[in-house]
Amino acid sequence: MRLNKYYSAAFLAFFVWGFFSFALKPLHQYPSLDIFFYRVFFSAITMVLINVVFRRRVLRENWNHFKKISSKQQKKVVLLTLGGGVFLSSNWFVYIYVMNHVSVNAASLAYLICPIVTTVFAFYILKETLSKWQWIAVGISFFSCILLSFNHFQDIFYSLITAATYALYLVSQRKNNDLDKFLGLTIQLIFTALVLLPFYPKYRGAIPTEPLFYICMFMIVVFFTIIPLFLNLYALKGINSSAVGIMIYINPIINFLLALFYYNEQVNFLQLFSYFLILISIVVFNEKVLFSKKPTAVATEMEG
């Protein structure tokens, strides 16, 4: 089995995100908009501090590179970076709202639909090609989502919005290669924070005073925002957005296992069968990477 560092980064990102409920569920009594505000503001501040204190050389190198590229490329970098910030922040807010005010099922269904939406966007927008087996994997995952949506059709609208915003983020950042990924993420968070700042005084709730809020927010910022997002963007340097998108299934599988074994929620045979199909679709989609004895094209390029 030949797994390169880009596949490993994608796997780890979505594995970590699978445990997001540990930090988010204790905050269910807080308004979704407040959680969104603090997540963006604290993440932006943390990223700026990391860049200023530890990555000043990278900042200079990227600024010099940006000045050297053509004006057309500069516009492309700005558009992709800021556009990515819009897609990412939209995804965060919708996900938090759906998780805390619609249903956990709708939030989980969103990340089951997301790989399919990502694959379709990547095929039509980025012209990424898929093998026969990868299309079969997409078909298997689509069928499993249909099974899971039974009796929950009211959740599909919210799930599609959540899925589409993150799929657009993945597809857009696949082409954003002229900027250091960590720096690009920092700019996206700063941009989002500046857009939200005028709305904060009017729409925020009471300033939280409970230590639990800030403990959970620290976990959300560090472990469920900065680390997995950076790993996600890093993975896009070496594998296409469809491959990263299919890894999203790791997230709901972990959510399902937590619901079953940690939260003691009731599950039925249809759910068990559907998640088994999702696991099969991940294996089928990545069969060349998992079972090929020869290095993949990406791995060969990486080692060169």
pLDDT for res 244: 86
Asked if residue 296 has pLDDT above 60, the reply is: no
Q: Is 226 exposed, middle or buried (0-12, 13-18, 19+ CB in 10 A)?
A: buried
Average model confidence (pLDDT) across the chain: 84
* pLDDT exceeds cutoff 80 at 291: no
Instruction: Indicate the residue type of 34.
Output: D
* Distance (Å, whole) CA 304 – CA 139: 35
279 compared with 42, residue with greater pLDDT: 42
Query: Which pLDDT tens digit goes with each residue over 139-165?
Result: 998 898 888 777 666 667 888 888 899
Residue 82 pLDDT > 90: yes
Identify residue 135 by its one-letter amino acid code.
W
**Structure confidence at residue 297 (pLDDT):** 39
Alpha helices per DSSP H over the chain: 5-17, 21-24, 32-54, 56-68, 71-97, 104-125, 132-148, 156-174, 181-196, 200-203, 211-221, 227-235, 241-246, 250-261, 269-285, 287-291, 297-303
Say how far apart CA 73 and CA 66 lie, in whole Å.
9
